[in-house]
Structure 1
Amino acid sequence: MRPLLLKGHERPLTRAKFNREGDLLFTTAMDKSPSVWRSSNGERIGTYKGHNGAVRDISVTWDTTRVITGSADNSAILWNAETGEKLHQWHFKSPVRSVAFSPGDAYIAIATAKLMGQASNVFIFAHNKSSNEQTEEPVKVLEGHEGTITRVLWHASAEILLTASEDKTIRKWDVEAGEEIQCVTAHKNDIKDCQFSADYAMVITASKDHTAKLWSFHDFSLLRTYTVDHPVNSAAVSPIFSHILLGGGQEASQVTTTGDRQGKFEGKIFHLVYEEELGRVKGHFGPINTVAFSPDGKQYVSGGEDGFVRLHDFDPDYFTKGQEGLV
């Protein structure tokens, strides 16, 4: 598995995600320039210029015509995905940590950080898909988290939101009612990431407590736990095999020169059911901050503290063994 090394960011990566078709890869970093790349060859097509602080998250519409980004400059920006034109900018009283278009793109969820005396909330805005004109006032504000929300995701129904937070909880929300449906204390430390399985039946959470956990979205029952010897910053579920991908590593202040040799910065693949580690992928020179599978499961991306994006194509034998249930 020889990865493409994508160099374009000057600071640590914060998010990497594919569009629905999987032909484009979108990345954000602690620099001010979200980027878009071709997943086939790693070519950087362009950047989105307009933020004045670290960019923490990015979301893409179903048809890849628009992009939204959230930044530490206390704003979220709506962009024309192809031209990079800034269409609208929402301003908040604290940094934006996560953003997400709803299925169908009728709404945008924007989660802010708990900082400067502000609570961490989710603001729901109506998205005018046919115009650059957008409303400034949210249609709903979801309140309740006691720590900064690190990820906001829409369920396929577009009626339910999922949030993960530094308060160690994951929560389910009825968007129309503006009410919390369910809350579970999922980890012993900050939750850094959460992602849905392809069928939306399961949720994987990644935490500083050295674990990733798989949950039933229906009732938040714990299905599996994957344990490593370092903080887990991101985790993803393969759309084609029973595989879990983990990325993480010790924080910069705790990293020693032996960290890489000890496997602290490797991507790790676990068996979803048996919780066994199946393999490791080396390459990053610091903690992995974000991982994602491509929609067809043939690639995965990792973004690191080292500022690099590594785009991995799985070898043919991975699919042979995967279909036979050997990996």
Structure 2
Amino acid sequence: MMMKPILLQGHERSIMQIKYNREGDLLFTRLGTYMGHSGAVWSDNSCRLWDCETGKQLALLQTNSAVRTRGFDFGGNIIMFSTDKQMGYQCFVSFFDLRDPSQIDNNELYMKIPCNNSKITSAVWGPLGECIIAGHEGRELNQYSGKSGEVLVNVKEHSWQINDIQLSRDMTMFVTASKDNTAKLFDSKTLEDQKTFRTEHLVNSAALSPNYDHVVLGGGQEAMDFEARFFHLTFEEEFGRIKGHLRPINSIAFHPNGKSYNSGGEGGYVHIHYFTHSTLNLSLRLKKLGSPSGPGELSGPGLTKFWTLRNK
């Protein structure tokens, strides 16, 4: 089966993260065209708030070390970001309320969570903004209260650093990607390990389909294994691969409507793949059979920016 991607070229260096907006008509890629940062977007010791329509910088929040993760809560009123453990400073998760202009103007956060053991490498808001789910360099997974900052749940299911965390559409589950060559499915409330998806190489990113029981993994190492790999969510078995990248995949995401996915990596290109009916029916046939029979192969061709996708 052929899946020829749409290629977006706008970067001269590696793409570290890609993300859709909630409606799915804008695709953001970093690093970027938003001028203002004096280094790589996360490495100039600042967190910045931007107007997506004009590219205008709305706020500048200074930090003591590089900013690693960031995100808006469910209502879009509170921002959180984590900083690296470096230059004598420990890792913190900081919180600002955009409804209080004095916090932004004076760079005065209303809550800070210290992370003494190891730095946060990936973090997302949990359901309804009640908690933060954070993966650490030291392999642990923590759930922090969004109100008090206390650790609600702590688990260590991975054996190495957690690279990525992405929630399901209903936010009841999330998938992690790790340097231990696996991706895992967790319950968002209890952090119970539900499923494990195993590969032979590093997993840099993983995403859950909003429509089907699919998990897509991206990663690889230099000179080998750059395919996006699809697993069945229930059976934990691989049923397809999509080629195209010439270097490791760093970030991967499903479109909110579930009809396509995109990936970005070391090569500087964004690959957008639209699923064909035969591709989607493959998973349905496997489900009726009771278990995938093994991996197939879906072949294809070999700054912060945002891309409009309204015409697709």
- TM-score with structure 1 length normalisation? 0.83
Counterpart CA distance in 2 for 1:140 and 1:302 is 34
Is 1:12 aligned with 2:43? no
Counterpart in the other structure of 2:38: 52
Note closer, same or farther for the CA distance 1:124–1:133 as it changes in structure 2 (3 Å cut): closer
RMSD: 1.9
Pick aligned residue for 2:89 from 118, 129, 133: 118
Pick aligned residue for 1:197 from 157, 163, 168: 168
Q: Which runs of 5+ in 1 are unaligned?
A: 34-46, 56-70
Counterpart CA distance in 2 for 1:131 and 1:298 is 43
1:302-321 CA distances to partner (integer Å, 9 max, x unpaired)? 01111111111111223344
Paired residues for 1:123-202 under 5 Å: 123-128=94-99, 134-202=105-173
Counterpart in the other structure of 2:264: 303
1:156 Cα deviation after fit: 2.6
1:291 Cα deviation after fit: 0.5
Counterpart CA distance in 2 for 1:285 and 1:321 is 26
1:130 Cα deviation after fit: 9.0
Counterpart CA distance in 1 for 2:125 and 2:185 is 17
Counterpart in the other structure of 2:301: none
Which amino acid counterpart does residue 22 of structure 1 have in structure 2?
Answer: G
Q: Secondary structure at the match of 1:157?
A: helix
Q: Secondary structure at the match of 1:22?
A: coil
Which amino acid counterpart does residue 250 of structure 2 have in structure 1?
Answer: N
Counterpart in the other structure of 1:36: none
1:58-98 CA distances to partner (integer Å, 9 max, x unpaired)? xxxxxxxxxxxxx1011111011100001111111110011
Counterpart in the other structure of 1:37: none
1:128 Cα deviation after fit: 3.3
Counterpart CA distance in 1 for 2:157 and 2:116 is 13
Q: Secondary structure at the match of 1:12?
A: coil
1:157-188 CA distances to partner (integer Å, 9 max, x unpaired)? 11211111111011101111121101111311
Counterpart in the other structure of 1:277: 238
1:322 Cα deviation after fit: 4.2
Counterpart CA distance in 2 for 1:311 and 1:18 is 12
Which amino acid counterpart does residue 273 of structure 1 have in structure 2?
Answer: T
Counterpart CA distance in 1 for 2:281 and 2:226 is 27
Counterpart CA distance in 2 for 1:198 and 1:178 is 25
Which amino acid counterpart does residue 14 of structure 1 have in structure 2?
Answer: M
Q: Which runs of 5+ in 2 are unaligned?
A: 293-312
Which amino acid counterpart does residue 248 of structure 2 have in structure 1?
Answer: P
Aligned length: 286
Counterpart in the other structure of 1:65: none
Note closer, same or farther for the CA distance 1:172–1:145 as it changes in structure 2 (3 Å cut): farther
1:199 Cα deviation after fit: 1.3
CA contact (8 A) 2:182 2:198 kept: yes
CA contact (8 A) 2:61 2:104 kept: no
Counterpart CA distance in 2 for 1:140 and 1:129 is 13
Note closer, same or farther for the CA distance 1:132–1:226 as it changes in structure 2 (3 Å cut): same
